[in-house]
Amino acid sequence: MPVKPVKVGIIGAGMISYTYLENLINTFGIIEVAGISDLIEEKARARARQFGVPVLTNEQIYNDPEIEIVVNLTFPLAHHQVSIDALRAGKNVYCEKIMGINCREAREIYDLAKEKGLRFGQAPDTFLGGALQTARKLLDSGFIGEPVMAQAMVVRGYRLTGAADEPLRFVYFAGGSMPYDMGGYYIHALVSLLGPVRRVTGFSRIYREKRQYENPRHPKYKTTVDYTEPSAMLGSLEFHNGCLANLTTVGDCYLPEIPRVEIYGTQGTLICPDPNYYGGPVLLCRSPGGKPYEIPLTHGYIAALRENNVIPGNDAEEADKWARSCRGLGVADMAWAIRNKRPHRCSAEMGLHTVEIICGIIQSGKDGNTFTLSSKPERPAPLPAGYVTGGSVDEACLDN
């Protein structure tokens, strides 16, 4: 018997809404997109024309009894209010990163969802992609023995160099600085592989409190923007399973991005690809001094599925930007979880844990103390192996 699709309403028609709409409409049969809204109505209309969905208001989404999930793709500073409003309206919520710009906001969302018996899901969902699920299978199967140490590092250069029509990037605001913008990908990867974190310590710093537009063609050239959030963070993590880890996020460098997630065990080393993506090479080394070997992926969902990834009426540049994205996988997993009455993998507990880890490292740098976390999420269940294409038939891997 066919499973009844789960209706979702999308709030936020910004850049990332493209890949969500592409995948929720064309990849996952469990999802029916009821419509999209945005504070700037023309942005919502543009996306609606691209994907053939209705334009709605937030209130219409909240008041539609058939919509079961609100997908919150708003600006990070708006995440908290939209999530709270949706939960108060009786909707399950899936939110883009990050859950809240501080522990207080994240905890308020978490407590409200629990009070109302609703689900809250939290991006990033890249740990459900083929690469990190393959890494999870290798780890769980004992290929590196007992995990002893892990390292996660991302180095980027965030600069105000945009073209004249480019708005200020959200990474210069609370909730969008380097630890929050990219740190969540690495924390979710580590927690999905190693389980919850017990204690953290570390340092963070704002290297330049004022940023200046560098592009002479930009109308704000040489004007400054205040940067109030840490642009560099170094944290030490102690997991409940005894493994230790370093977490490094840097947004002030002029080097290309340097993504790294490595886990060192008593019998081998596991090298994972950039957790900002769903695919990429998974490398395993089991001999002392030997070279790592690339392991064939055991899971699917590594890239967008549409052949050439171009939607009629859309320019190829935007499609190409999201060619390696399966964003929306976490929404689909939540939808299947609703139908099958099981826990969803991108859980509220995991989202809260991520915020608390970041806030704990920052607090540790301020007071010099080790920060013990109050949250302890369950390690999300792995996806079953063997569903390697991520296609329509392989959606059955979520039906469990």
Global pTM value: 0.93
pLDDT value at residue 213: 75
- More confident call, 385 vs 169: 385
Q: Greater confidence, 229 or 118?
A: 118
Quick check: 83 and 120 in contact, CB under 8 A?
yes
Query: If you search the block for the tokens 């900002």, which residue do you land on?
Result: 276
Query: DSSP readout, 37-66?
Result: E-SSHHHHHHHHHHHT--B--HHHHHH-TT
pLDDT at 77: 86
Q: Lowest-pLDDT range, 17-21, 80-84, 227-231, 359-363? A: 227-231
pLDDT at 306: 57
Per-residue pLDDT reduced to its tens digit, 172-226: 667 777 788 889 999 999 999 999 999 999 999 887 777 777 778 777 788 877 7
Region label for 35, one of left (φ > 0), alpha (ψ between -120 and 50) or beta (otherwise): left
User: What is the helix (H) or strand (E) element at residue 104, kind and residue range?
Assistant: helix 103-116
Q: Can you give the pLDDT at residue 214?
A: 75
**Does the pLDDT at position 310 exceed 70?**
no
- Across residues 50-73, what is the average pLDDT? 97
The amino acid that residue 303 corresponds to is A
Residue 64, pLDDT > 80, answer: yes
Mean pLDDT in residue range 334-358: 97
Residue 74: predicted pLDDT:
94
Spatial distance between the Cα atoms of 74 and 81, rounded to a whole number of angstroms: 10
For the segment 130-167, what is each residue's pLDDT rounded down to a tens digit?
Answer: 999 999 999 999 999 999 999 999 988 776 665 544 55
Lowest-confidence pick of 39-53, 265-279, 282-296: 282-296
How far apart CA 129 and CA 113 sit, in angstroms, is 26
Burial class (CB in 10 A: 0-12, 13-18, 19+), 219: exposed
Kindly state the average pLDDT of the residues 267-274.
Answer: 96
Place of tokens 């180095």: 155
pLDDT at position 165: 46
| Measured distance CA(208)–CA(313) in Å, rounded | 42
Q: What share of the chain is helix, strand, coil (3-state, %, to 5)?
A: 35, 20, 45
Which distant-in-sequence residues (6+ apart) come within 8 Å of 10 by Cβ?
17, 20, 21, 24, 33, 35, 36, 37, 70, 71, 73
Once rounded to an integer, what is the mean pLDDT over residues 311-337?
82
- Check residue 324 and give its pLDDT: 82
- The pLDDT of residue 291 is above 50: yes
In angstroms, the CA 132 to CA 330 distance is 14
Please answer whether residues 35 and 68 qualify as being in contact, where contact means their C-beta atoms are separated by less than 8 angstroms: no
To the nearest whole percent, how much of the chain has pLDDT over 90? 72
Angle at 338 between CA 29 and CA 307, to 5 degrees: 20
**Beta strands, E only, 84-181:** 92-95, 120-122, 147-155
Closest by Cα among 398, 400, 340 to 27: 398
- Per-residue pLDDT at 308: 46
**Pairing between β-strand 244-250 and β-strand 147-155 as defined by DSSP bridges:** parallel
**DSSP character at residue 246:** E
Average pLDDT on 97-116 reads: 95
Is 312 a residue whose pLDDT tops 80?
no
pLDDT for position 163: 55
Q: Residue 315 has what pLDDT? A: 58
Q: 218: buried, middle or exposed (CB in 10 Å: 19+, 13-18, 0-12)?
A: middle
- CA atoms of 173 and 168, how far apart (whole Å): 10
10 Å Cβ neighbour count for 285? 17
Neighbours of 322 (CB within 10 A): 19
Three-state DSSP state, 101? coil
Segment 236-242 mean pLDDT = 98
